[in-house]
Amino acid sequence: MIETEKTTGFICQVIDCPHRTPECKGPGERLVTIQNFVDLAPGAEVPLEGTASVCPGCGRTGIEKRFVNGILHIVHVQTTELLPDGMLTDPLDTCDRPKS
């Protein structure tokens, strides 16, 4: 299972989240999660993200993603923010995938 850490958000009040904290104040607050793929077993399927694999550069587990620049990266940690018009994903810890 992916470890997530909720920063703030009103959605946990709507779904009666068991991890609700005092920071979850109400509508208008941001819903940001931190997804850490490092502790996943290689081959684990992550919904909407892909399959976890071992990074050839650093040996930690991550998810392969191709960014706008066309370069393949291994994402180890990312934040995801729920927005009114979609979702914003921002990689925090990545390695460039070496060319084979």
Task: Look up residue 73 and give its two tokens.
Answer: 């990266």
Q: How many Cβ atoms from other residues are within 10 Å of residue 47's Cβ?
A: 6
Single pTM value for the model: 0.66
pLDDT tens-digit profile, the chain (100 residues): 344 444 444 445 444 555 555 555 555 566 778 889 999 999 999 888 899 999 998 999 999 988 777 788 999 999 888 777 888 888 999 998 766 5
Domain membership of residue 21 as a residue range: 3-96
* Helix, coil or strand: residue 52: strand
- Contacts of residue 8, Cβ cutoff 8 Å, sequence gap at least 6: 23, 24, 25, 29, 30, 31, 32
Q: How far apart are CA 20 and CA 51, in angstroms?
A: 29
- Structural domain total, the chain: 1
Measured in whole angstroms, how far is the alpha carbon of residue 96 from the centre of its chain? 17
